[in-house]
Amino acid sequence: MIKRNIIFLFLLFAVTPVLTAQTISKEIVTAFENGDAKKLSNHLHPNLEIKLLDNIQMVSKNQATRLLQEFFKKNPPSSFTVTYEGTKQGSKYGIGELKSKKNTFRVNIYFMNQGKENLIYNLTIEKV
């Protein structure tokens, strides 16, 4: 019994840092799932590079929000799943799959650490 409790505590402490080190927050996942560009904008860097389908550009946070609103209006999401999260040279990134009724999209998100939070400075959404 004691051995089982010790194993349980060890696993609890071993898994907790992995769960708290999540790159793509639940708020971002929910914003993609709901097609909510305004909530997603809370996580955008003031200036970012955005690629929607074949159109790539440097835009302000407000411009990116408008572009995402148009994208979500044309492609209402049915689901969003995080498929990979990682860190490379101190930069965090995540990859997800966004599904609409007609299409599936690959979403690449790159984060920049701004104080206490990670802001999206590069966002790519491309059709699979």
Average pLDDT, the chain: 88
Complete DSSP assignment for 6-65: HHHHHHHHHHHHHHHT-SS-HHHHHHHHHT-HHHHHTTEEEEEEEEETTEEEEEEHHHHH
Please state which CATH class domain 23-127 belongs to.
alpha beta
Is the confidence at residue 105, as pLDDT, over 80?
A: yes
In this prediction the pTM is 0.82
What pLDDT score was predicted for residue 58?
98
Give the residue-averaged pLDDT of 95-118.
94
Among 8-17, 18-27, 36-45, 88-97, the least confident range: 8-17
Instruction: Please write the tens of the pLDDT for every residue from 49-74.
Output: 999 999 999 999 999 999 999 999 99
* Beta-sheet pairing, 55-60 with 104-114: unpaired
